[in-house]
Amino acid sequence: MHRLYYGCARLQSDLKQRVITLCQAESRHGFGVLRLKPDDTIEVFDGRGASATGRIVSILDPRHPFFGKEQGTKQGRDAMSVELMSDVTIDKKPVFSIRALTALPRFQSRADWMLEKLVEVGVDFISPVLRSDHAGSRRYESHDHGDSDAVEGWSEKKSHRVLQLFVAACKQAERNTIPEVRPAPSFSEAVEDSATRGPVLCCHVADQAPALWTRLASPSFSKDAFRTERWDSVSVLVGPEGGFSAREVDVFSRIPNVKFVSLGSTKLRTETAAVLVSGILSQWRGSFS
């Protein structure tokens, strides 16, 4: 069954009216790419954890062969109306959220791939870090701007494009929740915020760091530990291509709840490490249910 995104409001709030109208982009994708037509059954999701089955009742587009079945809709052109046929299903809240605090790869295509796969494996919160001590990390800000301007600029330029990536990834993974994205100006700021919510797994190439699975199997990561500490998240911290600087490692080591882990003898790319660890955490989270 094809899935389309309903981002106008929450499905629960629009349940009483039973007929919803998809946005222009999703409507065009539905009848232009998927070749959907009236009376076809689809699934709609709102990106906030809700989904429902619906039937297409009208397509408002002069170029479409079924134009004219708009049934009095007052929406603009390129709109698709869907009648909800089932109750809205709400996803169960996970036992803890997975947060990815990661540098962005230098090439846009690799950054897009990383963000897409983080959604597919089940990450709930993504914090792209915009500045690092090493020059290998990607920077979106101008050199004459401060940190706050950097975050604001990234959000304005990238938020719409990132949302499109996330929607496509949610469709692929049959996921109903779009992750929250909050760019951070520096690693230290991202880590300090996440460490108050739960453990932060810092992926760092160091001889003394235990393996990821060894860390997850330790008593400090047991169900009882999560209940006792009242943790509600586990974060993945991945540095830029050049790795973390000595100063950053020193700062992280002083922050409570930061746990260094090794990913093996090979040195992974930023995007590979972020997706690998996040995927393992997603599977490990399933054992808590």
Strand partners, 151: none
Angle between helices 147-173 and 108-121 (to 10 degrees): 60
Do residues 3 and 174 touch, judged by C-beta distance below 8 A?
yes
Which residues make up the CATH 3.40.1280.10 domain(s) of the chain?
97-286
pLDDT greater than 80 at residue 217? yes
Contacts of residue 235, Cβ cutoff 8 Å, sequence gap at least 6: 98, 99, 100, 101, 191, 194, 195, 197, 198, 199, 200, 201
Do residues 182 and 155 touch, judged by C-beta distance below 8 A?
no
Q: How far apart are CA 186 and CA 36, in angstroms?
A: 45
3-state secondary structure of 191: helix
Contacts of residue 123, Cβ cutoff 8 Å, sequence gap at least 6: 98, 99, 100, 179, 278, 282
Which residues make up the CATH 2.40.240.20 domain(s) of the chain?
3-90
- Residue 75's pLDDT is what? 44
Do residues 81 and 56 touch, judged by C-beta distance below 8 A?
yes
Q: What is the pLDDT of residues 36-87, one digit of tens each?
A: 999 999 999 999 999 999 999 988 754 544 444 443 344 445 688 999 998 8
- Residue 19's pLDDT is what? 87
Alpha helices, DSSP H, located in 67-199:
108-121, 147-173, 187-195
Q: What is the pLDDT of residues 168-201, one digit of tens each?
A: 999 999 999 999 999 888 898 999 999 999 999 9
Contacts of residue 92, Cβ cutoff 8 Å, sequence gap at least 6: none
- 97-286 folds as Alpha/beta knot (3.40.1280)
> If we measure between CA atoms, which residue out of 133, 101, 137 comes closest to residue 248?
133
Give the rounded percent of residues in the chain with a pLDDT score beyond 70.
81
Q: What is the pLDDT of residues 91-131, one digit of tens each?
A: 999 999 999 999 998 888 999 999 999 999 999 999 998 76
- 3-90 folds as Ribosomal Protein L25; Chain P (2.40.240)
Q: What is the pLDDT of residues 262-271, one digit of tens each?
A: 998 888 999 9
